[in-house]
Structure 1
Amino acid sequence: MHVRISMERPEESAAIKSLYQWLAKDPDVARTAELSLTTQAPEPGSMGWDMDTINVVLSNSLAGLNAVLAAVTVWRQNRPTGSGGVRVDTVEDPPNPAGDSGGDDRDRG
């Protein structure tokens, strides 16, 4: 399972970097998730600016998601009131091409 974490207000890039560091130091998150910090450009033709996001790949979907959500909750509780909210979205894994089992494609006949 993939999860994307962003701030509700894109101008809060310092906050998303702080959250990334918090998640990277959490032992439960480290055990069940792989993190990366990326910058998303706005959709072509739309008004907006680049937005930093945390991409999370979970090795154990339920336990990993619980660990990430718990860590985000504790991080939010330690932030000043009035700071922007955190958005956590699940992202569907891309499907395998039809017939691709991930094995060797050579003819075994």
Structure 2
Amino acid sequence: MSIRIDIAGDDTALPDLREWLSNERDLRGRLRQRTKPAQPGTMGSGTELVIQLTDLGLAGVNTVIAAITAWLAYRQRQPRAARTTVTVTAPDGTPYDISGADPAALAHVAVEIAERPRGDDDPAA
């Protein structure tokens, strides 16, 4: 199982989040950055992170969600911080936007992602 992570509108945010996630012991060696497919009607494409969680299951997804939440809280404390939304895409292509730290909502997102079937476009497929 792989999940994809994207942040729209801030060119520095994704590399910063990648560095943050790479400090998580359970995620080391599982992160890669790739060019995402261009959307119809757009010129070019951006990049996204892909995290391989095949053998980590719900615990791995929880690690990712908790790390993203901590990173968002850290960014909000920085001077002139803009509100940032991280989009986590489940293996079946279902996107989840994370912009806050509501523990119940985040736990629900983690369970939803972990229980989604692997889609045909899953990079791990």
Q: Which residue of the partner structure matches residue 56 of structure 2?
A: 60
Q: Which residue of the partner structure matches residue 73 of structure 1?
A: 69
Residue 48 of structure 1: how far off its partner (Å): 4.3
Q: Percent identity?
A: 26
Root-mean-square deviation (CA, aligned residues, Å) is 2.0
Q: Which runs of 5+ in 1 are unaligned?
A: 96-109
Count of aligned positions: 90
Is 1:50 matched with 2:45? yes
Q: Aligned letter for 1:71?
A: A
What TM-score do you get using the length of structure 1 for normalisation?
0.71
Structure with the bigger percentage of strand? 1
Q: Aligned letter for 2:49?
A: I
Residue 72 of structure 1: how far off its partner (Å): 0.5
Per-residue CA deviation, residues 29-59 of structure 1 (Å, 9 max, x unaligned), is 33xx71101121413x522442110001102
In our comparison, the structure showing a higher alpha carbon Rg is 1
What TM-score do you get using the length of structure 2 for normalisation?
0.63
Q: Which runs of 5+ in 2 are unaligned?
A: 93-117, 121-125
